[in-house]
C-alpha cells in the first residue's frame, strides 16, 4: 500500500533528521546533544516535512503530470517549513508549556517559533530531499506492494507509537509534580509567616530567603522522584512558556531542568 511506503519513508527521514540535528548541536555546543522530542533516535518533524514534500512532488510530478522547477520545490519547502514549525511549536506549548526550539535570538523571527534564516535553510533542504534523497528512497522503498514492507511499516509504527506514549506520559506527569510542589511550598510558607507573626519578627527580611531555600529543596526532591525517562525528556526542552498567570510554574520548570542537567554533568565528571 502507498501508506506503508510513505510511513517507512517518514521513519527513515526522521532518523536522518535526528542524525543531522544531534551532529549539528553537538558541534555547536562542544558536547554530546541528543536532540529530538521522543526518546528514540528520531525527530518526527523532519520526517513529516520530508515526507510531506515528497508526497506533494509525487502527486504533481507523477500523477498530475506537472513538472516542478527547482525554485518551486524550494518554495514548497520554505512555506511548508514555516507552517510545520510554527504549528508544531504552538501545539507543544499548549500541551506541555514547553518548546524544543527557540529562535528568539535569530533575525526576522516570529514568536521564536520560526525565523527567516532557518526557513530558507529548510527550503534548501527541500531541494536536497527531492533531488538527492528521494531517488535513493525510491530504490529502498519501491512503490510495489510486498509483505516485508507491510511488516516493516507496522513494526516502525508500533515502536514510534510506544515512544510517543512514553514521552507524553513523562511530560504530562511533570505538570502534576509542579502543582504539588507549589501547594506544599505555599502551605509551608503560610505556617512560616504565622510563626513569625506570633513571635513579632520582621517578615520582609525572612520571607525571600525562606522561599528560595524551600524552592531549592522542593526542586531537588522532585528531581530525585523522577525516573530516567522523564529526565531524558526534560533535558531536551529548550524553553518553557507558561501563561501570564503561571510565572511560578515557569520558575519551577526551569529549576527542575537545570537541576537535571547539573546532575548529568556531575555524573560525567
Position 266 pLDDT exceeds 70: no
Distance of alpha carbon 240 from alpha carbon 252, whole angstroms: 10
Instruction: Write down the pTM of the prediction.
Output: 0.72
Residue 62 is predicted with a pLDDT of 73
Q: Give the per-residue pLDDT at 7.
A: 84
pLDDT at 204 (0 to 100): 58
- The pLDDT score that the predictor gives to residue 53 is 94
The total number of residues written for the chain in this structure = 269
CA distances from 35 to 24, 30, 145, 168 (A): 10, 14, 34, 16
* Confidence tier at 163 by pLDDT (50, 70, 90): low
Residue, of 168 and 133, whose pLDDT is higher = 133
Helix or strand run (H / E) with residue 239: strand 239-240
Give tens-digit pLDDT for 172-192. Answer: 666 666 666 667 766 776 776
Q: Find residue 98's DSSP bridge partners.
A: 240
**So what's the pLDDT on residue 268?**
55
Identify the pLDDT of residue 106.
Answer: 92
Number of alpha carbons in the 13 Å side-chain half-sphere of residue 268:
8
For the residues 33-47, what does the mean pLDDT come to?
75
Here the cell at position 44 is 518526527
Amino acid at each position: 500500500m502507498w501508506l506503508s511506503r510513505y510511513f517507512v519513508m517518514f521513519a527513515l527521514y526522521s532518523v536522518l533528521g535526528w542524525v543531522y540535528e544531534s551532529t549539528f548541536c553537538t558541534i555547536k555546543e562542544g558536547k554530546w546533544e541528543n536532540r529530538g522530542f521522543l526518546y528514540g533516535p528520531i525527530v518526527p518533524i523532519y520526517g513529516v516535512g520530508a515526507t510531506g514534500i515528497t508526497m506533494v512532488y509525487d502527486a504533481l510530478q507523477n500523477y498530475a503530470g506537472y513538472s516542478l522547477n527547482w525554485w518551486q520545490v524550494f518554495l514548497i519547502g520554505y512555506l511548508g517549513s514555516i507552517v510545520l514549525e510554527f504549528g508544531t511549536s504552538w501545539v507543544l506549548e499548549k500541551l506541555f508549556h514547553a518548546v524544543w526550539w527557540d529562535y528568539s535570538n535569530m533575525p526576522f523571527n516570529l514568536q521564536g517559533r520560526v525565523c527567516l534564516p532557518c526557513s530558507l535553510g529548510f527550503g534548501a533542504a527541500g531541494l536536497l530531499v527531492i533531488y538527492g534523497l528521494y531517488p535513493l528512497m525510491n530504490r529502498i522503498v519501491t512503490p510495489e506492494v510486498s509483505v516485508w514492507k507491510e511488516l516493516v511499516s507496522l513494526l516502525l509504527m508500533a515502536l514510534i507509537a510506544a515512544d510517543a506514549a512514553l514521552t507524553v506520559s513523562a511530560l504530562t506527569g511533570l505538570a502534576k509534580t509542579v502543582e504539588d510542589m507549589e501547594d506544599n511550598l505555599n502551605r509551608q510558607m503560610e505556617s512560616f509567616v504565622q510563626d513569625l507573626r506570633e513571635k513579632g519578627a520582621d517578615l520582609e527580611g525572612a520571607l525571600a530567603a525562606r522561599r528560595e531555600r524551600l524552592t531549592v529543596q522542593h526542586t531537588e526532591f522532585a528531581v530525585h522522584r523522577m525516573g530516567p525517562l522523564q529526565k531524558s525528556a526534560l533535558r531536551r526542552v529548550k524553553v518553557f512558556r507558561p501563561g501570564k498567570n503561571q510565572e511560578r510554574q515557569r520558575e519551577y520548570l526551569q529549576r527542575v531542568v537545570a537541576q537535571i542537567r547539573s546532575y548529568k554533568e556531575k555524573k560525567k565528571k
